[in-house]
Each structure stands twice: as structure tokens, then as C-alpha cells.
């Protein structure tokens, strides 16, 4: 029986999923990867159409009952380059902000950063991820993924959400994690996800060469992004960052319930601390 899992379709996820399609062991694992934007992955996971999803970390706090696969994430230690907000006027003066409809975590993070550190409280609207169109509708916009990474910031104020979070909290930021129900994140699946991560981190050069043409940028820039910007671990510091993110989301009225403890698949329930 094939196990279906879901992933975002961005450059930064390739080291975590390439093993399933590019190695004999991955093909024989019985695990198939499908691709969708974060908001659609959340829907598929909630509907039970996939066993696990590499999905926005915000979804963990928003939907009770999920556990995290151990040891794997899409994180950044500082500037992330691919999660950026752009403004035509100073941040404290923006009255409207267009959010990328594919975003969950990044939209919540931006709302926290604006409210707590920039004293900015705009009205938010949903929009397709088209920078020019978004900035005709609003004073500012948020773009994520490859579009956020390649967006032109000429003449605009740019806020790198990863850098802003690091500056104010001293912690990395966890953008996405493998989530699933406890019964779905089996030892076979979690071990396969860890194997895929370990193998994928040996493939940065190959991934950069393959993806550069699709994305429309240079091999060197892709490799820089994978090797110098991305962080694929999920250790104690990452969990501290998740705890802080959940707490701030609750404080800023972005969650219906206060965050509780985090559960890692295959281990005893423990707090995020």
C-alpha cells in the first residue's frame, strides 16, 4: 500500500524529498510525495488524504491532534531571503497589506513582527502571489517561497522576516515541519523522512543545477540558498523558537486556544522547553 505525503513545491524542500524519487531505496519505500502550497497541504492533511505534510509550523498550533516528525524542519538561523514583505511607505504608515494566499506561518509571523516591533496595525487582505498586482491593492505585501526569493525590491522597503525574528528574539525560526496524526507518523515513515534529509543534504550541488533553470536564476544563487541560508534540523533551539512563536501567536489573537505541549512522533509527550 502506497503512503502519500505532501510537500511544498519550493526549492527549499528539495533536499527533504528528493530521496523518494531519485534513489532505489526511496522508490522502494512505498512513500509517494505530492506537492501543493502550504494552505492546500493543511487541507489535505486535515482531510486524511495524506499521511504527513511538510507544512507550515503554524498549522501545528492551529489544529489539535498533530505530532511532529523528529529531527527535520525547514528553518532559518537568520535572514531567510524567501519570506519577505515589501512596502511602498514606511512600515508604521502602512494602512493595508496584501498577504500571499499560499502562506500560513509567514502571515502569522508578519502580523506578530508588525504589531510587536514596528507598531504597525494595517488591514490585511488575501491576494494571489503577484507582487505588482498586490502593491496596486495595498501599501505593502508578503511573498513567500521562490516568488518571495526572486521578487524585485527596487524602490521598496523590504522586511526579511527571518532576520527580523532573529534580531528581536535571538532564535532561529521554524517555517515548516513534517506533521501528521500519531497513528500516521509510523516508525517506517519517520525513519524514511530522516533518511531522506540526510541523503538530501549531500545533494545541494545537484539540486542547484537542476532547479536553477526552472526557477530562473543562477546555479550559484541556488546553491548559496541551500547551503548558507537553509537549516533542516529540529533541535532544542528550534523547539524553543516554536514555543515562542506559539505564545506570541496566542498573545496576538491569532490562535483560538493557548498552545499546549508539543508531541514528537515516537517519543513521550514533552513540553517545548
Query: Where are the chain's structural domains?
Result: 3-77+172-251, 83-169
The reported pLDDT for the residue numbered 17 is 97
The residue that leads in pLDDT, 147 or 109, is 109
Question: Residue 143: CA atoms inside 13 Å, Cβ hemisphere, count?
Answer: 23
Cell 506537492 belongs to 35
pTM of this structure = 0.91
Residue 88: Cβ within 10 Å count: 15
Give me the CATH topology for the region 83-169: D-Maltodextrin-Binding Protein; domain 2 (3.40.190)
The reported pLDDT for the residue numbered 272 is 37
Superfamily covering domain 3-77+172-251: Periplasmic binding protein-like II (3.40.190.10)
Could you tell me if 80 and 175 are in contact, meaning their C-beta atoms sit under 8 angstroms apart? yes
The reported pLDDT for the residue numbered 268 is 43
The reported pLDDT for the residue numbered 267 is 67
Question: Does the pLDDT value for residue 103 go beyond 90?
Answer: no
**How far is the C-alpha of 168 from the C-alpha of 36, rounded, in Å?**
31
Could you tell me if 139 and 85 are in contact, meaning their C-beta atoms sit under 8 angstroms apart? no
The residue that leads in pLDDT, 69 or 103, is 69
Environment class of 233 (CB within 10 Å of its CB; exposed 0-12, middle 13-18, buried 19+): middle
Average pLDDT of the chain?
A: 92
Q: Each residue of 196-242: pLDDT tens digit?
A: 999 999 999 999 999 998 888 999 999 999 999 999 999 999 999 99
Same fold, 3-77+172-251 and 83-169: yes
The reported pLDDT for the residue numbered 38 is 74
Residue 171: Cβ within 10 Å count: 17
The reported pLDDT for the residue numbered 95 is 97
Residue 243: Cβ within 10 Å count: 17
Amino acid at each position: 500500500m502506497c503512503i502519500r505525503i505532501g510537500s511544498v513545491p519550493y526549492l527549499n524542500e528539495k533536499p527533504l524529498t528528493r530521496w523518494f524519487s531519485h534513489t532505489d531505496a526511496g522508490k522502494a519505500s512505498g512513500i509517494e510525495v505530492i506537492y501543493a502550497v502550504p494552505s492546500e497541504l493543511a487541507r489535505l492533511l486535515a482531510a486524511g488524504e495524506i499521511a504527513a505534510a511538510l507544512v507550515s509550523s503554524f498549522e501545528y498550533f492551529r489544529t489539535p491532534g498533530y505530532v511532529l516528525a523528529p529531527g527535520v524542519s525547514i528553518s532559518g538561523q537568520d535572514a531567510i531571503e524567501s519570506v519577505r514583505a515589501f512596502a511602498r511607505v514606511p512600515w508604521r504608515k502602512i494602512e493595508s497589506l496584501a498577504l500571499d494566499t499560499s502562506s500560513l506561518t509567514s502571515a502569522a509571523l508578519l502580523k506578530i513582527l508588525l504589531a510587536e516591533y514596528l507598531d504597525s496595525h494595517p488591514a490585511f487582505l488575501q491576494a494571489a502571489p503577484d507582487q505588482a498586482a498586490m502593491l496596486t491593492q495595498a501599501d505593502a505585501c508578503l511573498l513567500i517561497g521562490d516568488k518571495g526569493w526572486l521578487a524585485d525590491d527596487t524602490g521598496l522597503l523590504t522586511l526579511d522576516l527571518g532576520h527580523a525574528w532573529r534580531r528581536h528574539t535571538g532564535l532561529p525560526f521554524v517555517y515548516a515541519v513534517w506533521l501528521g496524526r500519531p497513528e500516521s507518523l509510523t516508525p517506517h515513515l519517520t525513519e524514511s523522512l530522516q533518511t531522506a534529509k540526510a541523503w538530501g543534504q549531500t545533494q545541494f550541488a545537484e539540486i542547484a543545477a537542476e532547479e536553477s533553470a526552472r526557477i530562473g536564476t543562477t546555479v550559484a544563487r541556488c546553491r548559496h540558498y541551500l547551503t548558507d541560508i537553509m537549516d533542516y534540523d529540529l533541535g532544542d533551539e528550534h523547539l524553543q523558537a516554536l514555543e515562542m512563536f506559539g505564545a506570541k501567536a496566542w498573545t496576538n489573537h491569532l490562535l483560538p486556544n493557548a498552545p499546549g505541549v508539543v508531541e514528537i512522533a515516537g517519543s513521550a509527550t514533552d513540553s517545548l522547553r
